[in-house]
Each structure stands twice: as structure tokens, then as C-alpha cells.
A and B are shown apart, each in its own frame.
Chain A
Amino acid sequence: AQSVTQPDIHITVSEGASLELRCNYSYGATPYLFWYVQSPGQGLQLLLKYFSGDTLVQGIKGFEAEFKRSQSSFNLRKPSVHWSDAAEYFCGGGRRALTFGSGTRLQVQP
């Protein structure tokens, strides 16, 4: 089945530290890939997306992600985490309809 996988359910980092959230995909062809963020009780907000071309994608709020075909990965990174980044992050992929990974909950310690 075509899917995305987020191996980390929960991550805690200190404010100011760097962050990397993992996402692996399994599709026959290169899918469209996305990262979304969800605040409690809310819908999802798009952080960034990859369709083709440059494999390093810049998003909002200082996030970036790198598409690595050899590793079937699309990991999300941020060089310095802020307390307001605490949320749940979803990697998604697909072509006709987007499917999501199970999410990674990020906690930020002061």
C-alpha cells in the first residue's frame, strides 16, 4: 500500500536546540510530499510541500525539509526550536488524495 510513516510518536527538545522529524514514504512513483502542523483541537496548517525539482524545500516558520529518493525520506528540520513550535506534526503524501503518517508530537522544554 502507498503510505507515509513517521517512526517517532513523541519528541522532546530544548528551546533553541535543533529539530529533525522523520518521515519515510512508500510509493511506486515519487509522490507529492507535505508537512502539516496541528495545534490542539484545530485543523492542519501546511508548513511546506515538495512536488519536484530542488530537493531542499523551505517552508513557513523557519522549517525546511529535504527529499532523499535513495532513502525514501522527507525529514523536517528546524535549526532552532521555539516554545511556540510545540504541536503535532504530520507528514503526508499522495497524488489524488493525501494520506498522512500517524504524527509526531513535539514538546519543547524551556
Chain B
Amino acid sequence: DGGITQSPKYLFRKEGQNVTLSCEQNLNHDAMYWYRQDPGQGLRLIYYSQIVNDFQKGDIAEGYSVSREKKESFPLTVTSAQKNPTAFYLCASSGAGTGGAGGEKLFFGSGTQLSVL
């Protein structure tokens, strides 16, 4: 089945540790996104990538890093510089043919809950 897969579902981070959240899609989408969800704050954009080997910061990029070496993969690293990493992280993708140029429908993964030990 085509879709977008996030792993792991739950992740725990120790103090000072970097952790990486995986996001893979087999929808042949060009664009991929990472959002952070906190209670009462909705979804906030961390990073997005419109095309392979290119990405842009979103509204809350500090303490995070990404790479886009392959079209189907957009991993997010939560670094030790992110002092409040506990949140629900959602990955999404969109591509041409799903709604038109720009503003395409987003397809979401089922999320990763990150907690600090």
C-alpha cells in the first residue's frame, strides 16, 4: 500500500542525547514536512523540503536538523540543543497531482511521540 510511515511510534531521549525520527514515503511525492504538536498549540512547522537535497526552516527549526538525500526519506534529528523536545511529531508529504501546484493536500504519517527520560 502507498503511504507515509513514521518510526518509531514511541521514542525516549536521555539528557544530552541526539535522536532521529524516521519518515519514509512511497507516494513519489516531491515535498515533505515535519510538524511538532503540543497540547493547546496545534501543529507547528519545523522543517520542510520541496525537493531532494534541499530544505528550508519552518517556524521552530532551532534544535532540529534534517536531511533529504533521497526523495522517499526525510529524517528529523532532535539535537541536545532542543531543551523541550517532548511532543508528538508528525511527518507529511505532498506532490504534484494531489491538488494542484502549491497548496497540495498533505498526507500524514501516524506520528512519533518523543519523551525525555
Contact = CB atoms under 8 A, between A and B. Distances in A.
Q: Do A and B come from one complex?
A: yes
Interface of A: 6, 9, 31-32, 34, 36, 41-46, 49, 51, 90, 92, 94-103
A41 B35 CA distance: 14
Contacts of B58: 97, 99
Contacts, number: 67
Contact of B48 (A34, A36, A92, A97): A97
Contacts of B64: none
Given A9-B40, A49-B99, A90-B43, 6 more contacts: A32-B103, A43-B92, A46-B106, A49-B105, A99-B44, A103-B42
Interface string B28-50: 00000101000011111100101
B59 interface: yes
A90 B42 contact: yes
Nearest to A10: B40
A42 B109 CA distance: 8
